[in-house]
Amino acid sequence: MQLRNTASRYGLVVVVIHWLVALAVIGLFALGYWMVDLTYYSEWYKTGPDIHRSLGILLLAVMVFRVVWRVVNRSPEALAGHQRWEIVGAHLAHLFLYLLLFVAMISGYLISTADGSSISVFGWFEVPSVTGQIKGMEDTAGVVHYWSTWALVVLAGIHAVGALKHHFVDRDETLKRMIGH
């Protein structure tokens, strides 16, 4: 498998990033959902959010790279058997997946830096606050983060069901192209 996309296949870079992002979204959503019920005395009260923030910042870097890669490396053409509505729907779904990913990550960043503090990424480096202290930002960003992550997970689920439909019902190459076949 080559690094770059071809007219008919996704390249290794896109395939690896796709599955890393999918795993990260599932993991971050599960961790975030679990963290809601942590009490102050839980040993995970500080560790869980630290891991969540660190993974979120790393995911943001991966997604920025993904967008740049997508601009310089065109996606494969739609398969011949796809209907126009499927092609348009897929483009809209991808657009909204990207949008929701960035909204979730930026709102998460704003929650974490609302008090003016930076984010330590696994102790490797710090991401500073660019907003300082803005009254009410944490609450507003929290609402945006909550709803954007739920919308992201629902849309990702629809995306996965669509891929399975192409594989098992239509019996086309859509899913195979994203697993590197």
Over range 117-123, report the average pLDDT: 97
Asked whether residue 3 is assigned to any structural domain, the reply reads no
Asked whether residue 6 is assigned to any structural domain, the reply reads no
Total domain count for the chain? Answer: 1
- Residues of the chain with pLDDT > 90, as a percent, come to 82
Strand partners, 115: 133
Asked whether residue 1 is assigned to any structural domain, the reply reads no
Per-residue confidence (pLDDT) for residue 178, from 0 to 100: 87
Structural domain containing residue 49: 12-178
Write the pLDDT tens digit of every residue in 52-66: 999 999 999 999 999
Asked whether residue 4 is assigned to any structural domain, the reply reads no
Over range 43-59, report the average pLDDT: 97
Mean pLDDT over each residue of the chain, to the nearest integer: 94
Asked whether residue 2 is assigned to any structural domain, the reply reads no
Q: Does residue 25 contact residue 152 with C-beta atoms inside 8 Å? A: yes
Euclidean distance between CA atoms 52 and 46, whole angstroms? 10
Asked whether residue 85 is assigned to any structural domain, the reply reads yes
CATH number at residue 60: 1.20.950
User: Using DSSP, how many helices (H) and how many strands (E) does the chain show?
Assistant: 5, 2
Write the pLDDT tens digit of every residue in 64-110: 999 999 999 999 998 888 899 999 999 999 999 999 999 999 999 99
Asked whether residue 7 is assigned to any structural domain, the reply reads no
Asked whether residue 103 is assigned to any structural domain, the reply reads yes
